[in-house]
Amino acid sequence: MTETGLTAEAIALRSAEIRGLEGLASKPMSFGLLAWRRFLRHRLALIGAVGIVLIALGFIVQPWTSSWDFDEIDPIALGGDQGISAQHWFGTDDIGRDLMVRTFHGGRSSLQIALVVAVVSTLIGVTLGAVAGYFGGWIDVLLGQVTNLFLIVPALLVLAVFAKRWDNKNSLAIVIACLLWTGIQRVVRGLVFQIKEQEYVQAARAAGARPGRILVRHVLPNVVGPVMVNLTLTAGTAIALESTLSFLGLGVKPPTPTLGNLVFEAKGRIDSQPIKVLLPAFFIVAITLCINFLGDGLRDAVDPKAAGERAG
Amino acid sequence: MFAYVIRRVLATIPLLFIALYSVHVGVSFTTDPLAEFYQCLPRCQQGYDLISDQYDLDTNIWVRPFAWFGDAATGDLGRSNELGQPVSTILKTRGWNTAQLAIPAFALSTGVALMLAIYSATHKYSAGDYALTSLSFVGIALPTFVVGLLLQTTFAVWWQDWFHNKPFWTQGKHADSFGQFLSSATLPILTLTIVSVAADSRFGRTAMLEVLNADYIRTARAKGLSRRRVVWRHGLRNALIPLVTLWALNFSILLSGSVITESIFSWPGLGPPFIDGLGEADIDLVLGIVIFGSFLVITFNLIADVLYGVLDPRIRYD
Amino acid sequence: MNGEPLLAVESLTVRFKTEEGVVQAVTDVSFDVFADEVLAIVGESGSGKSVTAMSILGLHGRSANISGSIRLDGRELLGLREREWREVRGRSIAMIFQDPMTSLNPVFTIGDQIVEAIRTHNGDVTKQHAWNRARELLDLVGVPEAGRRVRQYPHECSGGMRQRAMIAMAIANDPKLLIADEPTTALDVTIQAQVMEVLHDARRATGAAMLLITHDLGLVAGSADRVQVMYGGRMFERGSIDEIFYGSRNPYTIGLLQSIPRLDTRTEQRLEPIRGAPPSLLHPLPGCPFGPRCRYAIDRCLVEVPDLHEVGPNHLSRCHRAEEIDLFSTVEVT
């Protein structure tokens, strides 16, 4: 009858008549259970989760399976640049180190950095968000300006400047983290604002509950969801940022391999031996994809209203 | 309306100042142009003093920015030791090269992303939507340098192997003719565009969907408006509001993206000197580029803010 | 109630394909609306009343499976092409929605939106003329300083004023039928009465019939000629105001009536809520949708959907025990 109809699902879903009804006649499900079901249904997220676990495991387990060390030079592969062979499944780099080992070691480093970035930036963001939301007033305004500041400066340029100075794995991670906390800060701030106004919180305050207790008891449960999403998505951004920095020759320097600087080392010979570039690049993309799938699924599980963003 | 613009400008100025100040201190803090001199002292005392003088290294790090701003106000941005030219000249000539990539990329990616977003939102869950969303998903996962490298390898090596010709230059800028310019600029512009479109179209789709799900769209349909009018007049007009924010952000992304792309394709823009300058502690150059970049981004954000006010009457009158 | 009905809905069934399965939003609903009357459709959330209303204007999309018949002045509407629907919407039939804040486009002025409604269906009207008309309409619906208001944005007006603007927009083209979907739900109680009055004035000024969708029985009492009660996507009772309010023969309607607080309720008397929750439209149970919650339910109720029983000349009730039950009955409660 009617053709494509812009608001098909929209009208259907929005009308309260349909939305509130699923499962009302059956046993009521807790929010956690509903979120879990939605997540499970999101197959892509599952693939992402499985993918990242497999990759991480692969990186971790690898040292036991291979005979080479990441910076060990194979004397037989004199002159380096060996192609695929039995001893070196993906060949060697230009000075004779096994490429696969280096890639997997690099993968570990990259994942490590991503993890640290995700955790630290989320911590910073949550704390600042809670402070801004709870205390409001001039503290909030000040923090707002600071957040704006961080949001506005061109990320890579600024990172490049600071990364030069702090270029070992952990310091670099913290530098990156210092740039990525703004997103979660805004979310937490908004949440705290909202919750602060709720009557049950006002009642708690009237009864004398200390700010800490209120934050933990009322705010924290609501924050868990967005935090999980943020952790995941920030890790993805971190991988991209770190590998880009390393690719430019900034960031982590050889011999410590990361996926990014492996590409950096190999880019000169991309014409003759593209595999050296493709292998670490593949992992960068694969990891980012899996993380994005996972993060998307988490976000969908936590906030079904964002459903329009799903990959399909 | 006018009051709103004034307010936004006034709010941005302190932000601008603090940002540029922080950047200056940051750069000064993390780079040490005297590094190479420590070993050879006291032999190279003269060179040491020269550098010290050039970069005001005797002054307190927190005071230095003011001197720099003072000079900058008169147009003197210092001198690049590596390139042997005044920084302002470099900004002009190489900056123009970067602009030749960034501006077409911005225009292209904005337009394409918008079209894709509208298509996706109005054909939600169709095969086309599914394909586009998946593509953009993959696109987002590809860091800029991977896209650049892939494009470069494809056209530098593989295409040649298969088709025995090379339609695009994969290194450097060639501008003897407009045709040559096009063929050398295409790959870098394409790289920048692909990366931007991937992120933009997803955001655009969400913004469009949110708008199309709104009650006033339902009202518009109930009034008997044609579908086209509903989408373009009622829908898009509202979706432009978040989109404008995105475009300002996009600009920031393009700036960073240019650094990477220029490095890969050896394009004589501001990117490679920036990276080299960091390595060689060519402070004036680095400062010039970073501060200029920050200034541009902040200005763009201001423009976006003003556009916001134009598009959304609710903001204007607050 | 003489002659042919203006709107004749017959056996309307609406199903939606959703992620979780097929939702039976409306099942076998039939009713008529005659010119110059007000028919109220009453029901709680999920009863299918809004879905019914939107079907009349063809506002559902691809995911909706609609069957049955909807005839306006004898012309069949279901199956119309989009182009034909557009001539009906906003002209022969106009709809007023629930929340005027979100139902009006925030980036266009009120005048813009009314003018748009006018010029969409009257292409040859000049802009000047349309704007004058918009001002007149705002005047008609009781917006003070209409000349100023017409150039304002929705967020600059109060809720009541926005709803008046919506009404003005709806009557701009002299529709034959006005559908008001919960017109006062989003408004303050004090404004509700005012808006209802405006609605009635507008109706009288245009001579339109009105389909009033609401969950508020109190609203219905002062506004409607006839009432139809819906539950679980089905029609449960239909009759005149008096028949429903004083002579209901349906347990659900009676339950609704008894749960309304009234000024003359004695303080010791408790309000009687209807226990239980609305049925799932995704997996409808066999038998009467209200069965599990009904005080008068018998075994048959859980197995067989009741037919509509004629308990009065124009009074229908869907209940196996319709003849026995009434407001004051002492029928055995099970």
CA distance B130 to A312: 5
Question: Reduced to 3 states, what is the DSSP secondary structure of residue C334?
Answer: coil
**Chains sharing 3 or more CB pairs under 8 A with chain A:** B, C
pLDDT of residue A96: 67
* Torsion C225-C231-C235-C236 (CA) sign: negative
pLDDT in tens, C34-60: 998 999 999 888 788 999 999 999 888
Q: Is C112 on the interface with B (CB under 8 A)?
A: no
CA distance C275 to C201: 38
CA distance A242 to A252: 8
- Searching chain A, which residue's CA lies closest to the CA of residue B18? A149
DSSP C316: E
pLDDT of residue A7: 30
Q: C219 with C155, same domain?
A: yes
ipTM score: 0.85
Q: Is residue C112 part of a domain?
A: yes
Q: Is C106 on the interface with B (CB under 8 A)?
A: yes
Q: Which residues contact B163 (CB under 8 A, 6 or more apart)?
A: none
Q: Compare CB distances from C105 to B216, B226, B311 and report the shortest one's residue.
A: B216
Domain boundaries B93-272+292-311, corresponding CATH code: 1.10.3720.10
Mean pLDDT of A48-55: 84
Q: Is residue C2 part of a domain?
A: no
DSSP A15: S
* DSSP H or E run through C23: strand C21-33
Q: Which of B125, B145, B295 to mutate to test the interface with A (most CBs of A within 10 A)?
A: B145
CA distance B123 to B117: 10
CA distance C27 to C45: 15
Contact C82 A3 (CB under 8 A): yes
What residues in C contact A9, CB-CB < 8 Å? 18, 61, 63
Contact C97 B222 (CB under 8 A): yes
pLDDT in tens, C278-315: 787 878 888 888 888 888 888 888 888 999 989 888 89
CA distance C24 to C73: 28
Contact C156 B317 (CB under 8 A): yes
Q: Which residues contact A227 (CB under 8 A, 6 or more apart)?
A: A122, A126, A184, A188
Q: C177 with C128, same domain?
A: yes
CATH number at residue C106: 3.40.50.300
**Lookup: tokens for B90:** 């470099």
Helix axes A275-302, B127-141, angle to 10 degrees: 120
CA distance C166 to A107: 60
Contact B223 C156 (CB under 8 A): no
Query: Rounded to whole angstroms, what are the CA distances from C159 to B52, B210, C184?
Result: 68, 23, 10
Are A18 and C18 within 8 A, CB to CB? yes
Q: C168 with C265, same domain?
A: no
pLDDT of residue A301: 74
CA distance B271 to B293: 11
Q: C156 with C275, same domain?
A: no
Length of chain A: 312
Q: Is B216 on the interface with C (CB under 8 A)?
A: yes
* Cis check: omega of the bond before B42, within 30 degrees of 0: yes
Of B22 and B1, more confident: B22
**Lookup: tokens for A78:** 């004199």
Lowest mean pLDDT among A157-161, B157-161, C232-236, C327-331: C327-331
Residue C185's nearest CA partner among C211, C142, C219, C137 is C219
CA distance C137 to C164: 10
Are C277 and C290 within 8 A, CB to CB? no
Mean pLDDT of chain A: 74
How many structural domains compose chain C?
A: 2
pLDDT of residue C115: 94
B27 phi and psi angles, rounded to 5 deg: -65, -45
**Lookup: tokens for C324:** 């026995």
Domain residues for the domain of C174 are 7-224
Last residue of a domain, one of C168, C202, C224: C224
pLDDT tier, B32 (very low <50, low <70, confident <90, very high otherwise): confident
Question: Does residue A11 register a pLDDT over 50?
Answer: no
Contact A1 C16 (CB under 8 A): no
Q: Where are the domains of chain B?
A: 2-86, 93-272+292-311
Q: Is residue C304 part of a domain?
A: yes
Helix axes B2-30, A137-152, angle to 10 degrees: 70
Q: C287 with C248, same domain?
A: yes
* DSSP H or E run through C180: strand C177-181
Question: Which residues are registered as beta bridge partners of C8?
Answer: C32, C71
Contact A13 C18 (CB under 8 A): yes
Question: Does residue A14 register a pLDDT over 50?
Answer: no
Q: Compare CB distances from B19 to A4, A153, A274 and report the shortest one's residue.
A: A153
Q: Compare CB distances from B222 to C59, C87, C102 and report the shortest one's residue.
A: C59
Q: Is C48 on the interface with A (CB under 8 A)?
A: yes
CA distance C51 to C27: 11
Q: Is C124 on the interface with B (CB under 8 A)?
A: no
What residues in C contact B313, CB-CB < 8 Å? 106-107, 153, 155
What residues in B contact C85, CB-CB < 8 Å? 224
pLDDT in tens, A217-233: 777 777 888 888 889 88
C19 phi and psi angles, rounded to 5 deg: -55, -40
Q: C205 with C237, same domain?
A: no
Mean pLDDT of A81-106: 71
Contact C103 B218 (CB under 8 A): yes
Lowest mean pLDDT among A9-13, C5-9, C204-208: A9-13
DSSP A104: H
CA distance C255 to B159: 77
Mean pLDDT of chain C: 87
Q: Is residue C35 part of a domain?
A: yes
SS3 assignment for chain B: CHHHHHHHHHHHHHHHHHHHHHHHHHHHHHCCCCHHHCCCCCCCHHHHHHHHHHCCCCCCCCCHHHHHHHHHHCCCCCEECCCCEEHHHHHHHHHHHHHHHHHHHHHHHHHHHHHHHHHHHHCCCCHHHHHHHHHHHHHHHCCHHHHHHHHHHHHHHHHHHHHCCCCCCCCCCCCCCHHHHHHHHHHHHHHHHHHHHHHHHHHHHHHHHHHHCCHHHHHHHHCCCCHHHHHHHHHHHHHHHHHHHHHHHHHHHHHHHHHHHHHHHCCCCCHHHHHHHHHHCCHHHHHHHHHHHHHHHHHHHHHHHHHHHHHCHHHHCC
Mean pLDDT of B198-214: 84
Q: How far is A219 from chain B (nearest CA, A)?
A: 27
The segment with the largest mean pLDDT, out of B10-24, B43-57, B237-251, C142-156, is: C142-156
**Lookup: tokens for B103:** 């501006």
pTM (2 decimals)? 0.78
Q: C181 with C261, same domain?
A: no
Q: C211 with C282, same domain?
A: no
Question: Does residue A180 register a pLDDT over 70?
Answer: yes
The number of angstroms, rounded, from the C-alpha of A97 to the middle of its chain's C-alpha atoms is 30
pLDDT in tens, C156-191: 998 889 999 999 999 999 999 999 999 988 888 888
CA distance B220 to B214: 10
Q: How far is A286 from chain C (nearest CA, A)?
A: 29
Q: How far is B113 from chain C (nearest CA, A)?
A: 23
pLDDT tier, C9 (very low <50, low <70, confident <90, very high otherwise): very high
CA distance B291 to B21: 9
Contact B149 A267 (CB under 8 A): yes
pLDDT in tens, C72-130: 998 999 988 889 999 999 999 999 998 888 999 999 999 999 999 999 998 888 999 99
**Chains sharing 3 or more CB pairs under 8 A with chain B:** A, C
Q: C215 with C248, same domain?
A: no
Contact A9 C51 (CB under 8 A): no
CB-facing half-sphere around the CA of A177: CA atoms within 13 A:
23
Give the count of beta carbons closer than 10 Å to the beta carbon of residue C254. Answer: 22
C226 phi and psi angles, rounded to 5 deg: -130, 155
Q: Is residue C326 part of a domain?
A: no
Mean pLDDT of B110-135: 83
pLDDT of residue A19: 32
pLDDT of residue A26: 33
